[in-house]
Amino acid sequence: MNENTKEVMEQWGFHGFFGKIIFYFKFLSNWLKFFLAMKIPIPYFRTQLQRQRGVRIGFDVYLGHDVIIDLLYPKMIIIEDFVDIGDRTLIYAHSRGSPPLKKIYPRKIERVRIGKGTWIGNNVMILPGVSIGKYCVIGGSSVVTKDIANFSLAVGSPAKIVRKIDKNSILKLNRKKE
């Protein structure tokens, strides 16, 4: 067993021979749901499978095809109500350096939050520790490395806020729907 597996087993609270067996069983179950959620053509089932993995997902959330949500730490991801996440988006709650660089770049595990009403474009990468505010738009192929304030349009690599979205028009549109 490699060092990374030992480290994750400890973080998940598994020790010894039987802990190893339970860990591999849970990991395999999680991986199966992870894979099915990426490939299944029905959006409702993608969302449900991610919830079963432990991702906290609000009401009326759309997950596009091939969305990758952290395999090891799905419970560290929070997606609020009315969020739309485009195809091939990557959301990570952890990162780690290679074994030779581990002392300089240790494993980092941090919560990721995507706020209510946010639209994430296709091919976006969201890194650990990022909080995206409410009613934001993240442009396609952006890499979100830092927090994004509410009512913002952010694009680029790294993603930068290019303009604010008019809060009153968004709130007015939402009132008309109700």
Please list the pLDDT of the chain residue by residue as tens digits (178 residues): 787 888 888 888 899 899 999 999 999 999 999 999 999 999 999 999 999 999 999 999 999 999 999 999 999 999 999 999 999 999 999 998 777 888 888 889 999 999 999 999 999 999 999 999 999 999 999 999 999 999 999 999 999 999 999 888 777 777 655 4
What is the total count of domains within the chain?
1
* Amino acid symbol at 120: I
CATH number at residue 66: 2.160.10.10
Q: Which domain holds residue 22?
A: 3-177
From residue 47, how far is each of 59, 81, 121, 157 by CA, in Å? 10, 12, 17, 27
**What's the CA gap between 158 and 138, in Å, rounded?**
11
